[in-house]
Structure 1
Amino acid sequence: MAYLINENCISCGACEPECPVSCITAGDDKYVIDASTCIDCGACAGVCPVDACQPE
């Protein structure tokens, strides 16, 4: 299982530096997690101010 970033994302970027495998990138209107690289650690969810990072 992986984490995904939902429509709540405000593109603040808090999640990106927390990812130990660098699977989070800036998309057109929100950040995106590469599910094939995500290790399901939840580090992104711990820092997201709007709960946009959720388990798949």
Structure 2
Amino acid sequence: MALRITDECINCDVCEPQCPNTAISMGPEHYIIDPDRCTECVGHFDEPQCQVFCPVECIEVDPDHTEDRETLEAKFRRLAVS
């Protein structure tokens, strides 16, 4: 599953540099995660780094973008080649 940032985001700038896939960027009101680039850090880390470092715990699983581990690994391999 891709992750998403909720409205509780305080725009602290901590998550963006932690993302190895550059999936996080500033949106109109707060940071957003591009589901096409989010692998939940599969292939890089054991757990999503944005969630680890978020001081307000506003990053959650995006139910609109459900993916199993195999799909996330395939996405990681595709992004690594790009």
Q: TM-score range by the shorter chain?
A: over 0.9
- Partner residue of 1:44 out of 20, 38, 50: 50
Which structure exhibits the higher relative contact order, with contacts defined as CA atoms closer than 8 Å and separated by 6 or more residues?
A: 1
Number of residue equivalences: 56
Q: Does residue 33 of structure 2 align to residue 33 of structure 1?
A: yes
Alpha-carbon distance in 1 for matches of 2:13, 2:29:
12
TM-score (norm 2): 0.65
Moved over 6 A (4+): none
Q: CA deviation at 1:18?
A: 0.2
Q: CA deviation at 1:55?
A: 1.5
RMSD, aligned α-carbons: 0.8
Q: Which has the larger radius of gyration?
A: 2
More helix by share: 2
Q: Paired residue for 1:8?
A: 8
Structure 1: tracts of 5 or more residues without a match: none
Structure 2: tracts of 5 or more residues without a match: 42-47, 63-82
